[in-house]
Amino acid sequence: MATKHYTFQENQAMMPTKIIVVIVTLLVLLMGLFGYMYIAQEFLGKPVGENALPAPWALAIFIVTGLLTFYVSRLKIITRVTDDVLTMSLGVIGKRKFPLETIEAVKDYEGNPAADFLGYGYRIAIKQTGYIGRAEQAVTLKINGQKRELVITTEKPEELKQALQPKG
Per-residue pLDDT tens over the stretch 114-131: 899 998 888 998 899 999
Q: How confident is the model at residue 79 (pLDDT cuts 50, 70, 90)?
A: very high
Backbone angles phi, psi at 102, to 5 degrees: -90, -5
Three-class DSSP category at 16: coil
Higher pLDDT among residues 157 and 45, named by residue: 157
Q: Are strands 103-108 and 76-81 parallel, antiparallel or unpaired?
A: unpaired
49 by Cβ neighbours in 10 Å (0-12 / 13-18 / 19+) ranks as exposed
Strand partners for 121: 132
Three-class DSSP category at 63: helix
Indicate whether this model's pTM tops 0.85.
no
